[in-house]
Amino acid sequence: MQICATIPEARAACRAARANRKGLGLVPTMGALHEGHLSLVRAAKAQCDAVAVSIFVNPTQFGPTEDLSKYPRPFDRDCQLLEKEGIDILFAPPVDEIYPNGQVTWVQIEGLSEKLDGRSRPGHFRGVTTIVSKLFHILEPDAAFFGQKDAAQLAVIRRMVEDLNFPVEIVACPIVRESDGLAMSSRNAYLNREERGRALVLRRSLQEVQQEFQNGERIAAKLIAAAKDVFAREPQVVLDYFEIVDPDTLDPVERISQKTLVTVAANVGSTRLIDNLVLNL
Count Cβ atoms below 10 Å from residue 44 Cβ, excluding itself.
26
Q: What CA–CA distance (Å, rounded) separates 189 from 32? A: 10
Label residue 233 exposed, middle or buried (CB < 10 Å: 0-12, 13-18, 19+): exposed
- Active site amino acids: 37
Please provide the DSSP assignment of 167-193 as one string. Answer: --EEEEE---B-TTSPBP-GGGGG--H
Q: Which residues of the chain have pLDDT under 70?
A: none
pLDDT value at position 64?
84
pLDDT value at position 123?
94
pLDDT value at position 57?
97
Count Cβ atoms below 10 Å from residue 76 Cβ, excluding itself.
8
pLDDT value at position 235?
95
pLDDT value at position 103?
87
Q: Which residues contact 86 (CB under 8 A, 6 or more apart)?
A: 1, 45
Pairing assessment for the beta strands 260-268 and 271-279 based on DSSP bridges: antiparallel
Question: Is the separation of the CB atoms in 20 and 89 below 8 Å?
Answer: no
- pLDDT, one tens digit per residue, over 10-27 is 999 999 998 877 799 999
Q: pTM for this structure?
A: 0.96
- Tell me the residue ranges of DSSP E strands in 72-128: 89-91
pLDDT value at position 192?
95
DSSP-assigned beta bridge partners for residue 173: 147
